[in-house]
Structure 1
Amino acid sequence: MRPWPDDRVAFGGDYNPEQWPREVWADDVRLMAEAGVSFVTLGVFSWSWLEPTKGEYEFGWLDEVMDLMHRHGIAVDLATATATPPPWLSAAYPEILPVDREGHTLWPGSRQAWCPSSPLYRDLALSLTDRMAARYHDHPALAMWHVSNEYACHNLPCYCDTCAAAFRRWLEHRYTTTDALNEAWDTAFWSQRYAEWDEVLPPRLSTTFNNPTHVLDYSRFGSDTLLDFFLAEKEVIRRHSAGVPVTTNFMTLSTFRLLDYSDWAPHLDVVSTDHYVVDALEHPRAELSFHGDLTRGLAGGAPWMLMEHSTSAVNWQPVNPAKRPGDTLLDSLTHVARGADTLGFFQWRQSRAGSEKFHSALVPHAGEDSDRFREVCALGAVAGRLGEVVGSRVEADVAVLFDHEAQWAVAGPCMPSTAIDYPAAAHTVHRLLRDRGVTCDVVHPDADLARYRVVVVPTLYLVSDEAAAAVAAAAEAGAQVVVTYFSGIADPDDHVRLGGYPGAFRDLLGVRVEELFPLRVGERVALDGGGHGTVWSEDARAGEAEVLHTYGDGPLAGRPAVTRRAVGEGAAWYLGTLPDDATLGTLLERVVEDAGVAAAAAVPPGVEVVRRRSADGSWLFVLNHTDADATLDTTGHDLVSGTDVGPSTTVAARTAAVIREA
């Protein structure tokens, strides 16, 4: 076993030598040395090469590549190759194929065409995992095991009969009796009462809306089913390869919402994720920062691995623009600033054919004589100089709560508005605090909130009594708590909390809402004193709370829109709408000032600053996203340029500095 590289920020990515003739492999390791690559991920989509027919294995080529990596000092993150079945498996056993909500079979010819509940697929995958773990457990290049790949990216939810039977078993384990199920799903509505477990089906396409709690439970079932599959592979690996870390790559980006990673994270030896810049978003780099903080929250504040991102364009958006010069470095260091100790890319060498041939790579189609590869080499050199940062933690006094179950529930049928997007309020608050140099941890509602000075509760529609009590306790103990619209509405069974909204937070906020007034797409509501709200509004009574803003027009003119209530040593703020950036930014400035939270550094607008700290020191990451040079007051040593700086330093446009502070 080789230890994971920790004398630098580990640098590398997916290596797919089976796509290339052997004579290319020698050139690969030459270029890897030039670029400073310290790890590769092998075998992710190699099942058909490792087991070309059932029970007949061909490991010789992988042996050769593993040995090649060892000779060149490159650590291997070895995948179990179980992410996608080979053609012989689908042809021989078509019952493994997933089925969509309308009953259509999803055929092979792409990737991940397998039913998450299929016992046959599971048995064959575990057999391959067993063979690989037995063969490579003591290989000197092996540093980590990588189970499957991007679970649920394409095959969840599945609505086949196998999933229906598995769902019934899951429900019986969760509820024990059909009476308890009927209570949780409130099946008195629309004559849905179940007398026997065999009557329950997945929420397939029906005449009209499915039962919302039924839909919510099916999301829980899907996440739990794939987690159980991961744990089964991990157990096989452990039998042969005890002591070698095991991970799988999450997908913590806005477009993926199918797994509850807060349940998964405790089972990974190190949390890893894939993240790609989504150019269609209004603020794509702010979203990148948010999901770095979310991944760190899943890791319990510990450093994490960026398993995949891209040097430039991806292949799966309607339009796939190339990154601007410098963005490969800037995006990568944004991830490191927010806790990544590993920088991985998909992939090492850009494919010449296949669905991802126009997805960028460390070695582009243009080859080594290209600006992009020169930028890759520059990034590899910087990663080599960042070894002293490895193991340090990000400094944050603000918690933003994020819950996948609440996200599933908000996306369920029959909500007050289909325009409401669960992460919108969280992303907005996070972005505006980021713009002001304030770093946030993005954490599950069950996280320990005691150490935070500010706790933001954005659109937490579904919340447990325990989590609501923890938020109230944080305010009593001195935190500034900010709760946004459509929070606290339902309990974990998706039953509305009666007596007036915002339900679980009504007493904490001193606000009682009688009726919801969601806004139409593009509609605005004026706020007194200037500014406006979007997305949402509601008919509130302030009660014990101080009214900071009222609605300035429309049917709710004069009603409270933003309130504040003193609570114990802290305060509870409520946003009944999503204010414009200027109004909300000013409000958040007051919140952090009241909390005694300061920016990591004073910088011009558009410059992102984050501090990582350990017992040995602190490092200020300065990420200049603007087209102008930025100057700030700081003294220390810049690990990017390799120069001493102070008492001020200038960070050039669209570049970054990592300053070991004096």
Structure 2
Amino acid sequence: MTDPHEIQPTQDASPPQWPSTVPGLAYGGDYNPEQWPESTRLEDVELMGVAGVNLVSVGIFSWAMLEPREGEFEWDWLDQTMDRLHGAGVRAALATATASPPPWLTHRHPEILPETADGVTLWPGARQAYSVSSPIFREYALRMTRAIAQRYAKHPALALWHVDNELGCHNAHDYSDDAAEAFRSWLETRYGSVEELNRAWGTAFWSQRYSSFAEVLPPRTAPMFVNPTQQLDFHRYSSDELLDYFREMKAILREVTPTVPVTTNFMCTTRSKNMDYYSWAGEMDVIATDHYTVADDAHRHIELAFSADLTRGVAGGRPWMLMEHSTSGVNWQLRNHTKAPAEMMRDSLAHVARGADAVMFFQWRQSQTGAEKYHSAMVPHAGTASDVWNTTVSLGEALQRLAPVKGTRVEAEVALVFDYEAWWGAELDSHPINDLSYPEEMLHWYRGLWESGVSVDVVHPSADLSRYRAIVVPTLYLVTDAHAANIAAAAAQGASVLITYFSGIVDEHDAVRLGGYPGAFRELLGIRTEEFWPLQAQEQLRLQDGTRAELWSEKIHLHDGAGAAARAVRRFESLNLTEDSDADPAAPAPTVAPTGEFPLAGWPAVTRRETGQGAAWYAGTRPDHEGVRALLAELLIEAGVAPVHEDAPEGVDVIRRSAGTGREAESFLFALNHTGKDARLRVRGVDLLTGKKTRGRLTVPAGGVAVVHEA
């Protein structure tokens, strides 16, 4: 089977990879004039000029307004909007309007509605009330797409096509009869025969053998655990089915407007696992994503950095678009966080630092009615007499000053390997640990890298790893032979590779690799794990070097592999009981179990083996935060990776974007101060945000940002 991550896009034309009519960095947000009277629409265009807006997304949820009755189109309001935007020098990312079907369509054809695994119909009244597998829905959606494309193909405001919106955000997994039929077709294409499907799914277990594809269903609710490979393939099918829907829409847009770039807004975050965006990337003319921070995350700025680095990884290093984020609070969390002006500015420029050439928000004007009326916007309920509006204007001015950054790239010497299929596999049920969170594992190691001050590319295991000095591979539970070989080759070529526990365990069919764990990486690492030893919530390990670990341990045997023997870098010492958060603070401290009572005392916890020109490390446990920092420090020193800026204080994020070589080289140093104190850096150049020369010393205010065009 072909690796979908290596598929090249099929295009009849070569449109630009950026909305070419948008000058400088793009700035704006979702614009929904259909929600407002004429007087407000006129004010909107005037205020966009004040804020420096040059790109807005239009028409995302406008199907019912554009086609209020089947076959009857009302274009006047959108015609007028497009004309006004053009007159104001603002370009449009025009949507296909298909993100939510109109009530007349779902009333006439309720069979297009999606269903849950329990057979519950997801009814209209919100958004995305459609089954992407429904032929009837597709017919209507494609017709709407063609109508909009033909109407605005030659409009001078049109700069970019925005297909649907956040595809699969609420309806990625549909278990309806239409989805069942599409799933069976997908499986037949993937496996070719039902015999091959039976082999891949291991249907000899629990009498699940199929005699024809017609007998196969989506993994609907069952009396016990559903076949894990069936679940895994349903994840793959669901991602592919949504991508197929995108391709059909794109084909129409390409036919009508062959030189206008096409995108859709991804959700490259630690909270969106339904689409394999690496496999989607080749179909996008430009990568766009949405990102929102989580209020109760004390390290939300680090999660933001990870998500931005992930987006850049999906984009293959090319500049990308931040299509949505928030000016302040959102409406969908338990307790929503209000951003201070400095945080809004810092969040926005943190994305730019990591490769975004567009900063956009949901939405331009805060809604007065509807489910998202308490979601912040560029023009808030309070109007222009507000901190949010003032920061909106200030951010527009800052982005205009940062125009020279456009098109430059972030260069990293460290890779963090991330795979959606490994995510799907690692979080299947009936595992040794059933509360493992793949995103938490990624962030656990990413935070250590972030605090080390190094730049990180978050890449797929099929990526070219030869250019990285250090590679961290957290919990790559599911891995193909080819991807495992790619990681091993990087180590042989000179990289220091760190692989963490529960990696290499199964192949692409979720079949365990026999002979001892970690399966696919056993020879590379020079180890063989006999048995997993998961820890209970209140248990913590002490390692012999004084560091601590949690969650996981395993019985590791050292062996020679195909080259030098592996050695233990850290060993288990004892098992401790951690404090119960509900315990009486006056109670005695928890006791430490005697070393003799912990069967793995003295066994390897972290190993290292030289291979080729590099080294392969293995963490057979989950070091705590300080343990991660210490381990990564050793890895980075060995790999010869230095921080982007050697004297950056703790909590000051420093990233460099650059372009060109030799005399033509340019570099821009971003410094984002996430602390409450002013920070000082040695750097020479001009701070683009203030216009001042640094003269070798730069002060970044508490909570502030500086961007130095380095001399």
Range of TM-score over shorter length: over 0.9
CA deviations on 1:615-656 (whole Å, 9 max, x unpaired) are 140011100000100001001011112211121111000010
What CA deviation, in whole Å up to 9, does each residue of 1:445-491 have, x standing for no partner? Answer: 00011111111111000001111111111111110000001000000
Deviation at 1:584?
Answer: 1.5
1:409 aligns with one of 419, 422, 425: 425
Q: How far apart are residue 325 of structure 1 and its match?
A: 3.0
Is structure 2 residue 572 aligned with structure 1 residue 551?
A: yes
Distance in 1 of aligned mates of 2:630 and 2:118: 48
- Decide which of 54, 57, 67 is 2:73's aligned counterpart: 57
C-alpha RMSD of the superposition:
1.2
Residues 1:624 and 2:624 aligned together = no
1:573 to 582, 602, 617: 617
Secondary structure at the aligned position of 1:40 is classed as strand
Give the counterpart letter for 2:709 in structure 1: R
Give, as a single letter, the amino acid of the residue that structure 1 aligns with 2:335. V
> What residue number does 1:250 align with?
266
| Residues 511-550 of structure 1 aligned to structure 2 (within 5 Å) | 511-543=527-559, 544-550=565-571
| Residues in 2 aligned to 1:574 and 1:522: alpha-carbon distance in whole angstroms | 24
Equivalent AA in structure 2 for residue 551 of structure 1: F
- Gaps in structure 1 of 5+ consecutive residues: none
Moved more, 242-251 or 526-535: 526-535
Taking the aligned partners of 2:85 and 2:119, their CA distance within structure 1 comes to 46
8 Å contact from structure 1 (residues 252, 274) kept in 2: yes
SS at match of 2:693: strand
Deviation at 1:555, TM superposition (A): 3.2
Contact kept? 1:12, 1:343, Cα under 8 Å: yes
Q: Is the 8 A contact 1:13 1:347 kept in 2?
A: yes
Report the counterpart of residue 248 of structure 2 in structure 1: 232
Q: Does residue 311 of structure 1 match 2:332?
A: no
1:495 is matched with which residue? 511
Letter in structure 1 aligned against 2:677: A
Task: Write the distance in 1 (CA, Å) between the matches of 2:169 and 2:256.
Answer: 28
Residues in 2 aligned to 1:393 and 1:470: alpha-carbon distance in whole angstroms: 25
Residue 322 in structure 1 maps to residue 338 in structure 2: yes
Q: Could you tell me how far apart the structure 2 residues matched to 1:660 and 1:202 are?
A: 54
Residue type at the aligned position of 1:56: E
Question: What is the distance in 2 between the residues matched to 1:523 and 1:287?
Answer: 27
Matched, 1:657 2:706: yes
Aligned equivalent of 1:261, options 265, 277, 299: 277
Q: What TM-score, normalized by structure 2, do the two folds share?
A: 0.92
Q: Count residues in correspondence.
A: 662
- In structure 2, the partner of 1:635 is 684
2:323 counterpart SS class: strand
1:182 aligns with 2:226: no
Structure 1's 457 and 500: CA in aligned 2 closer, same or farther, altered over 3 A?
same
Identify the residue that residue 164 of structure 1 maps to in structure 2. 180
The residue identity in structure 2 corresponding to 1:79 is A
What is the CA deviation profile of residues 400-438 of structure 1, one whole-angstrom value per residue up to 9, with x for unaligned ones? 111101101111121111121112232122211111210
Report Cα offsets for 1:73-128 as digits up to 9, x if no partner. 00100000111101101100000011101111111101101112000000000000
The one-letter code sitting in structure 2 at the alignment partner of 1:563 is T
Q: Please tell me whether the aligned partners of residues 502 and 513 of structure 1 are also in contact (alpha carbons under 8 angstroms).
A: yes
- Unmatched 5+ stretches in structure 2: 1-14, 560-564, 575-597
Q: Which amino acid aligns with 2:616?
A: A
**Conserved? CA contact 1:419–1:521, under 8 Å:** no
- Note the C-alpha offset of 1:278: 1.4
Counterpart-to-counterpart distance in 1, 2:19 and 2:215: 52
% identity of equivalent residues? 52
Q: What CA distance in whole angstroms lies between the structure 1 residues aligned with 2:215 and 2:376?
A: 49
State the shift of 1:522 in Å: 4.7
The amino acid of 2:654's aligned partner reads: V
Alpha carbons 2:22, 2:159 under 8 Å: kept: no
Secondary structure (helix, strand or coil) at the match of 1:415 reads: coil
Q: Does 1:214 align with 2:230?
A: yes
What does residue range 410-559 of structure 1 map to in structure 2 within 5 Å? 410-543=426-559, 544-553=565-574, 554-559=598-603
Task: Quote how far apart the aligned CAs of 1:282 are.
Answer: 4.4
- 2:535 and 2:406 map into 1 onto residues whose CA distance is 46
Q: Retained in 1: the 8 A contact 2:19–2:261?
A: no
Kept in 1, the 8 Å contact 2:462–2:483? The answer is yes
Alignment pair present for 1:588 and 2:641:
no
Please report how far the alpha carbon of residue 5 of structure 1 lies from its aligned counterpart in structure 2 after TM superposition.
Answer: 5.3
Candidates 374, 378, 401, aligned match of 1:362: 378
The 8 Å contact of residues 6 and 387 in structure 1, kept in 2 or not, is answered as no
Q: Give the Cα separation in 2 of the matches to 1:333 and 1:638.
A: 14
Question: Where does residue 598 of structure 1 map in the other structure?
Answer: 642
Aligned-partner Cα distance in 2 for 1:516–1:81: 50
- Alpha-carbon deviation of 1:529? 2.2
Match status 1:611 vs 2:661:
no
Which whole-Å CA distance do the structure 2 matches of 1:318 and 1:4 have between them?
Answer: 40
Cα drift, residue 592 of structure 1: 1.0
| Cα deviations by residue, 1:531-552 (Å, 9 ceiling, x for unpaired) | 2112211111122212111112
- Give distance in 2, aligned partners of 1:534 and 1:455: 23
User: Higher mean Cα deviation, 411-420 or 265-274?
Assistant: 411-420
Which of the numbers 76, 89, 95 marks the counterpart of 1:79?
95
Give the distance between the partners of 1:483 and 1:367, measured in 2 at CA: 51
Distance 2:615 2:137 in 1: 53
User: Structure 2 CA distance, aligned partners of 1:521 and 1:94?
Assistant: 46
Amino acid corresponding to residue 698 of structure 2 in structure 1: T
TM-superposed deviation, 1:298: 0.5
- Is residue 2:33 matched to residue 1:17? yes
